[in-house]
Amino acid sequence: MKSENTGGTILREKREATAGFDPEAIMADFPILTRKIGSNKLVYLDNAATTQKPTSVIEALNSYYRVMNANVHRGLHTLAEESTAAFEEARRKTALFIGGVKSEELIITRNATESINIVAASWGRKNIRRGDRIVLTEMEHHANLVPWIALSKETGAELAYIPIDSQGVLDLENIDSIITDNTKIVSLTQMSNVLGTINPVEEIGRIAHAAGAVFLVDGAQSAPHMPVNVKAMDADFYVFSAHKMLGPTGIGFLYGRENILNSMEPFLYGGEMIREVRYDYADWNILPWKFEAGTPNIAGAIGFSPALDYLNSLGMESIRDHEKKLTAYAIERLSEIKGIMIYGPKDIESRGGAVSFTHGEIHPHDLATFLDSRGIAIRAGHHCAQPLVKKLGLNATARASFYIYNTNSDIDDLAAGLAEAWRYFGHG
């Protein structure tokens, strides 16, 4: 617990949380939560994979196609103008959400994965050579591993990893021997999708910049769950996906510092990203469109607007607070159950709401299937982080992950299911 002199802050946060969070009202905004799985009500605890959508998002998609649908940017008719305005408004809102970056600096992509690939391909191919170093951490998602493994194979650059300790926290002790002078980029997740760990991105960013490296933060798990300020963390690149934060599928973002984006070659070529094309020549549009070729996911972007409104109306501080309470309760309840082993930090302040665990000898896949028969949706496997899961000495974990519509009662259901699984699979 915090020391007494921060009591004021805690009190204020508590009040906000109470003001913003009415679980009943929130659940009522998510139509899928009334769904039955067999004869059980759905308990959705797979939020790190993707979140559910509020009515306002579903309705925005609906109404986009019913009254406004048109291709953007090139059209002079009313529908095209309205679509373009709504599309660009979604960009502006998102730029504000991550700390007030410029709209020009925010590229609309398909997902966080593509965003990282743009950096690895366009920035990486130009700036990374044999003898250079790319620094990642041992807890990265494949999205922030495989593009760099491929780039290292192509260029001959070396990969180095910031290790994790036994708590699943980054061990910064030897950071100076990892982020070396030949390090060209440091790329890490702000929150682990397996361990829940929140990384000290400000600190690592300073070290990266001091070494002259570019700094990329993978916000796929953080942007949905806590206040994020890209300027405060001084990131050169920041990536995230709409579908993990109440938004539609097929929409992601790449924030990039203006001068760096300007120095990069485009990633995809085609309509919209050009200024002038001749049969033997092409030059590029200004930012952000230079990186947006072809017809974008217009409905997806427009449908993300009300998702941001929803998050803003609750307040990201309150959301973080709500999830801290849920996570603390989950760790408490799961720890009581015989056979359960939880991975990642136990300190609530330094972790988010993705809770990985194993349950004795029961294979996580069997656990997931078993819980599903009780209506409880969790994920099981390597969570697109094979090397990390191997490092933990495992082939797979089970993972429960929370969001704004989850309550302690969901965690009670999970705990009951896990206790029963223990008996079902013959350990009782």
Partner 1 sequence: MGDNLDDLYRDIIMDHYKYPRGKKKLEKADVKNEGKNPVCGDEIEVSLKVNSGKVEDISVECIGCAISVASGSMLADAIRGKTIDEVKKIAANIKAVLIGEKAEEAVELGDLEALEGVNKFPVRVKCALLSWTTLIDGLEAWETGEGKNGSTTE
Ligand X SMILES: Cc1ncc(COP(=O)(O)O)c(C=O)c1O
CA 353 – CA 367 distance, rounded (Å):
19
Of the candidates 146, 95, 140, the residue with the CA atom closest to the CA atom of residue 121: 146
Stretch in the footprint of ligand X (CB under 6 A) among 119-127, 138-146, 150-158, 325-333? 138-146
Residues numbered 201 to 260 that lie near ligand X (CB under 6 A) are: 218, 220-221, 241, 252
End-to-end Cα, the chain, rounded Å: 36
Residues numbered 96 to 155 that lie near a second copy (CB under 8 A) are: 110-114, 116-117, 120, 138, 141-143, 145-147, 149-150
In the complex with partner 1, the residue whose CB is nearer, 115 or 356, is 356
Q: Pick from a second copy, partner 1, ligand X, none: which does 221 bind, CB < 5 to 8 A by kind?
A: ligand X
CA 190 – CA 187 distance, rounded (Å):
10
Binds ligand X (CB under 6 A): choice among 98, 143, 251, 421: 143
Is 137 among the residues that bind ligand X (CB under 6 A)?
no
Is 76 among the residues that bind partner 1 (CB under 8 A)?
yes
By CB under 8 A, the count of residues binding a second copy is: 95
By CB under 8 A, the count of residues binding partner 1 is: 36
Stretch in the footprint of a second copy (CB under 8 A) among 20-28, 31-39, 93-101, 170-178? 31-39
Binds a second copy (CB under 8 A): choice among 192, 297, 358, 407: 297
In the complex with partner 1, the residue whose CB is nearer, 194 or 242, is 194
Is 188 among the residues that bind ligand X (CB under 6 A)?
no
Three-class SS string for the chain?
Answer: CCCHHHHHHHHHHHHHHHHHCCHHHHHHCCHHHHCEECCEECEECECCCCCCCCHHHHHHHHHHHHHHCCCCCCCCCHHHHHHHHHHHHHHHHHHHHCCCCCHHHEEEECCHHHHHHHHHHHHHHHHCCCCCEEEEECCCCHHHCHHHHHHHHHHCCEEEEECECCCCCECCCCHHHHCCCCEEEEEEECECCCCCEECCHHHHHHHHHHCCCEEEEECCCCCCCCCCCCCCCCCCEEEEEHHHCCCCCCCEEEEECHHHHHHCCCCCCCCCCEEEEECCEEEECCCCHHHCCCCCCHHHHHHHHHHHHHHHHHCHHHHHHHHHHHHHHHHHHHHCCCCEEECCCCCHHHECCEEEEEECCECHHHHHHHHHCCCEECEEECCCCHHHHHHCCCCCEEEEECCCCCCHHHHHHHHHHHHHHHHHCCCC
Q: Pick from partner 1, ligand X, a second copy, none: which does 393 bind, CB < 5 to 8 A by kind?
A: none
Catalytic annotation, pick one of 378, 384, 414, 419: 384
Binds a second copy (CB under 8 A): choice among 27, 41, 56, 80: 80
Provide, rounded to whole angstroms, the least separation between the CB of residue 66 and partner 1.
18
Is 394 among the residues that bind a second copy (CB under 8 A)?
no
Is 9 among the residues that bind a second copy (CB under 8 A)?
no
**Contact letters for partner 1, residues 318-357 (x by CB under 8 A):** ----------------------------------------
Binds partner 1 (CB under 8 A): choice among 41, 110, 363, 391: 363
Are 290 and 266 contacting, i.e. CB atoms less than 8 angstroms apart?
yes
Is 51 among the residues that bind ligand X (CB under 6 A)?
no
Residue 384 is among the residues annotated as catalytic for this protein:
yes
Is 216 among the residues that bind a second copy (CB under 8 A)?
no
Residues annotated catalytic, as ranges: 384
Q: Which residues bind partner 1 (CB under 8 A)?
A: 37-40, 74-76, 78, 80-81, 84-85, 275-276, 285-286, 363-366, 369-370, 372-375, 381-382, 386, 389, 394-396, 424-426
Q: Which residues bind ligand X (CB under 6 A)?
A: 48, 111-113, 141, 143-144, 189, 193, 218, 220-221, 241, 252, 271, 294-295, 384
